Amino acid sequence: SKILGRHTIEQLARGDTIPMLDIVQRHHDVPFYSGDTTDKWDVLDILERSGVTYIVQNALLRRGVKDPSVYFRGYIEGTQAIVEAAIAAGVRKLIYTSSAGIIFDSTDIMNVNEWVPYLEKPFAMYNDSKAQGEKVMLEANGKDGLLTIALCPAGVFGPKDSQIAGSGSLFDCTYDGNIMRTILFAGGGLVPPPSYPSATNGQAFLITDGEPLYILDITGLYDEHGQRLSGPKVQSAYERLGGATRV
């Protein structure tokens, strides 16, 4: 993800080396590795060369591609490849950025929580592929010492976002900085038992700002603040990391 991926790197750069795996190098201030995330051996080679022990997977494929099989290759086969490579490389923590869209059925939904099941009839192939990728990630929790967690933000926006549009419906969005804070919290909560009885390992959590807005209202904020736009504070995402989960 061009937006969230960059923000992740900026926030994690706290004295540690933060390598980036992508197909295009947009920045030159961090170690960069070009590779195919759907190729287990390609990913494993990069993990071994970089010495990574903690992965944040922010892979993003644009909606509306002509060949929807791209989603399944990227989000399902790609996630499986990353999981297998992570286990082989001895990686201990893996955070998967999923999407709240995996439970969207094209109707207005309110007060959704992690107990809402996956859709039996997915609304779109994009959503289904994200859901299947999330399942792969969560089922990998505990395998050979790997701890996993999935975060499901809704309507990501932020200063580096250039695409905002929508209808007159209220939408619970998520400022990218808040997602990043939640990633930091989640990483700290991935602790192997029995040293700490973590309730976050192998779970998925919905992430929003808790302040439903009209999409056009967000556009107005951009007009008013431009690149200085700051997001609402996280209201409950971290508090829920020790509790609710989707079944």
Domain 2-157+176-210 is found in CATH 3.40.50.720: yes
Average pLDDT over residues 26-55: 88
Q: Phi-psi region for residue 106, left (φ > 0), alpha (ψ -120 to 50) or beta?
A: left
pLDDT in tens, 102-138: 666 555 565 565 566 666 776 677 778 888 888 999 8
Q: How would you classify the pairing of strands 174-175 and 156-157?
A: parallel
- Over residues 197-222, the pLDDT tens digits come to 566 777 776 676 766 665 555 555 54
pTM of the model: 0.66
- Provide the angle, in degrees to the nearest 10, between the axes of the packed helices 2-12 and 176-189: 50
Domain spans in the chain, listed from the N-terminal domain onward? 2-157+176-210
174 three-class SS: strand
Residue 226 has pLDDT above 60, yes or no: no
